Structure 1
Amino acid sequence: MTTVTKAVYVNFTAARDADRMNRISSLVQRTELNSLVIDVRSDEGALLHARDEETRARLGALREAGIYLIARVVAFKGGPRGWYDPGSEVRWREIAEISLRAFDVGFDEVNYDYVRYGAAREPRSRTPVRERAPTIRAFFEYLRAEVGDAASRPISADLFGITLLGPLDGVGQRLEDAVELFDYVMPMPYPSHWEPGSFGLANPAHHPYETVHAALSAGWRRVVDLPGRIASLRSWIQAFDLDSSRPMRRYKYTPWHIQEQIRAIEDAGCAGYAAWNPRSKYEVGAFVTAWPGNPA
């Protein structure tokens, strides 16, 4: 059954802070939100809190409040050299073990970020470009078998927003692969990340509805009728201050900008959204149907 999630991202520091989690839980209770995407440690050590028993208890309280909980696992960013080899089966097994622990302590779903090779200004790989997408697909197949199917729980994957328009063989991401192997595919079509002129818009960040709707609609048309598709589309949305200008500069993203993205996602037929703010700070007005200046 498809779960329509209305989520915000919670970073690792915030997730471990009882006061901040109380405020975030209150935000969910006061708005249309129903879900949280929570960072968990994706290498050695405690998954979230010092002991899994404590994590289980904290998550249990959130679940009792009716909140759907998604564990965010960073796949290949990190490690002693700054980036794990996406072809490392040792790393694959480590990720699978972390994922199963996440389900054991009370998460409802596991979400995978950085499921790719390094991009510009990130560590480069010696893997030939032609081998990267097949390697990432093999990793997706591994997660499907060893996590999703093994646990009978949903799994999701984050993709660059531009994969909605076509494959990115340089980093190994193809929307067509992801929709065949995950329950939810979560592209990141942040308006600020599109070049000026994209979709005929001089500054996409100033047109959140048009940008997000155009990107999601283009991507979904490409994959919706694929015979092997199992995934529903769920989108990340921009909840941080950044412009599309080059060079980039700060541009205030207000509740209106976030509501416009939510409207675009609903119109594009997505199974919900997750709002990204790296500091995990959100305004109530962004997630209510009516707020001052935007009457229902």
Structure 2
Amino acid sequence: MNIKRKLSYLFLSLMLVLTSCTNTNQKEVPEVDDKTIDQAADEILKDNGLINDAIDKPIGKPYEVGVTPDDYNMDYDTSRLLSLDEKKTKFYPKDGVKGLYFNTYSVNTPETYNKIMDLLESTDLNAVVIDIKDDWGNVTMNFDTDDENIKYSKIDIVDPKALIEDFHSKGIYVIGRITTFKDSIITEKNPEWGFTLDDGTLWKNAHEEAFMNPFLKEVQDYDINIAKLAAQAGFDEIQFDYVRFAEGFETFGDTLDYSRGEYEDNTELDEGEKRVAAITGFVKRAREELQAYNVPMSIDVFGYALQVRRAEGIGQDFDEMSNQTDVISSMIYPSHWGSWSFDIEKPDLEPYELVKRYLDEEKEVLSQLDHPPVSRPWIQDFTASWIGEGNWMEYDGEAVQAQIDAIYDQGLNEYLIWNANSEYSSGVDY
């Protein structure tokens, strides 16, 4: 509050005090308006040499409460008080994250465990991605919690703290993966969290997998609470996968029964826009709530979300989601693209060109965001023989290396490699 305004209120307060001390039969004090107060304050300031008539008084609209003048150039978005660099643990690799997916069920298999550890210790690989909540919805970690829903889904494959200590002792960065909205376990306990058919049964896809309803706050709470437990257990980073509605939802969603949550009565948004708002809202909310745990957050998205930019069917807007996370991991497996994607007739046969051309476009898009995340793409170390004869090839060390070379040639130095069974090719210079 400036000195003139302070004096104005002092002047008004003095008048009120004097009025209250007089006899109640005295005539009322005339109404005092802002102009009268300002004039009185000017007289006091002039008498004390604090202003003179030559000084121009500021003219303009008063600042709104809670809004900082642009002159100060300050960002009061409290959810962004910490940058990625400030949230990184000491195990974040200085030369960038180069990681493998390590299937949680293989952690307790000595043969696989030893192979992964040997690979990490003998190459430039420096990180692992481990399921906290797997593709079916099982919470694989032995978390100490009173949350009845999490307790229902827990299968306690590993002790998270012991596992993390083991990796940290070898200097390995540990990312915890959460399969977010695809969940066939908790929807058994809470079918109202899913999508139901006319007969009241849960909708499931062709693989008999159910999805939770991203519109529901209690659904979002469930995944975020699991993430918080993982952060408390010591994971270096939380990665959300399946941050979307089911594939093709726009083609069958209107046949299902489900709530749109806070968007139920919103007539300004169509169904696709509501789905995008729900997914983007979850990503923003997760980042805000995890900041209290000083842990970075990453999200996985379909590669094609970049090309379409706004995949309203599944609710993924590439720009909006990227702007709300610390790290973006696009799944750019060459086998997952149709013919002539990026002008490549058979993408799976040209891993170097596919990755290079994808990253060309991604760099351009991310550079235009207010808060661009680190790009850490998922690449493939598996053979996609199911995409049809003539369209696929054997993915060996050479094919994996081609993808990594493309990443480095594009000026990036982070990547994750996917193999569902954690069986990785030899002969790769990571």
TM-score range, shorter chain: 0.7 to 0.9
2-side partners of 1:123 and 1:102: how far apart? Answer: 35
SS in 1 for 2:311: coil
State the SS of the aligned residue for 2:393: coil
Offset at residue 131 of structure 1 (A): 0.9
The residue aligned with 1:110 is 238
Give deviations 1:184-230, integer Å, cap 9, x for gaps: 0000111111111222222111110100111121122022122x224
- Contact 1:59–1:107 (8 Å) recurs in 2: yes
User: Post-superposition shift, 1:88?
Assistant: 1.6
Q: Residue in 2 aligned with 1:183?
A: 326
Inter-CA distance 242–272: structure 2 relative to 1 (3 Å threshold): same
Q: Which residue of 2 is the match for residue 233 of structure 1?
A: 375
- Contact kept, 8 Å, 2:140 with 2:158, in 1: the verdict is no
Residues 39 and 211 from structure 1, CA distance in 2 versus in 1: closer, same or farther, beyond 3 angstroms?
same
Provide the residue aligned with 1:260 in structure 2. Answer: 402
Distance in 1 (CA, whole Å) between partners of 2:406 and 2:386 is 18
Matching residue of 2:128: 36
Q: Residue type of the partner of 2:130?
A: I
The alignment partner of 2:129 has SS state of: strand
Which residue type is aligned with residue 233 of structure 1?
Answer: S
Letter in 2 for 1:239: D
Extract unaligned runs of 5+ from structure 2.
1-84, 144-154, 188-201, 203-209, 255-259, 261-270
Q: 2:169 aligns with which of 56, 61, 64?
A: 64
1:15-34 per-position Cα deviation (integer Å, ceiling 9, x unaligned): 34344223211110111100
Query: Is structure 2 residue 277 aligned with structure 1 residue 150?
Result: no
Q: Deviations over 1:142-197 (max 9, x none)?
A: 101111x1211110000000122222111111121122211100001111111112
Q: Which has the higher contact order (CA 8 A, sep 6+)?
A: 1
Distance 1:8 1:216, change over 3 A: same
Q: Which structure has the greater CA radius of gyration?
A: 2
Partner of residue 160 from structure 2, selected from 46, 50, 55: 55
Structure 1 residue identity aligned to 2:114: N
In 2, Cα distance between equivalents of 1:230 and 1:246: 37
CA contact (8 A) 1:12 1:48 kept: no
Cα separation, partners in 2 of 1:46 and 1:238, compared to 1, 3 Å: closer
Aligned-partner Cα distance in 2 for 1:121–1:192: 22
CA distance in 2: counterparts of 1:129 and 1:16, whole angstroms: 43
- The aligned runs of 1:146-295 (5 Å cut-off) are 146-147=289-290, 149-165=291-307, 166-226=309-369, 228-242=370-384, 245-246=387-388, 251-286=393-428, 288=429
Q: 1:247 to 1:175 in 2, by over 3 A?
A: farther
Which amino acid is 1:59 matched to?
I
Question: C-alpha deviations, 1:108-147, integer Å up to 9, x for none?
Answer: 0010100001104999544622211111111011101111
Alignment partner of 1:32: what SS?
A: coil
Aligned to 1:90: 218
Provide the rounded CA distance (Å) in 1 between the counterparts of 2:279 and 2:327: 16
Contact 2:130 2:175 in 1 (8 A): yes
Mean CA deviation greater in 52-61 or 269-278 = 52-61
Partners in 1 of 2:156 and 2:386 — Cα distance? 42
Identity %: 29
2:417 counterpart letter in structure 1? A
Residue in 2 aligned with 1:292?
none
8 Å contact kept, 2:348–2:392: no
Q: Which amino acid aligns with 1:186?
A: S
Q: TM-score, normalised by structure 1?
A: 0.88
Which residue identity lines up with residue 217 of structure 1 in the other structure?
A: D
Q: Deviation digits for residues 34-82 of structure 1, max 9, x if unmatched?
A: 0000111365755259669932112201111000000010000113340
Is the contact made by 2:175 and 2:236 (CA closer than 8 Å) also made in structure 1? Answer: yes
When normalised by structure 2's length, the TM-score is 0.62
- Conservation of the 8 A alpha-carbon contact between 2:250 and 2:272: no
2:219 corresponds to 1:76: no
SS of residue matched to 1:156: strand
Q: Name the SS for the 1:37 alignment partner.
A: strand
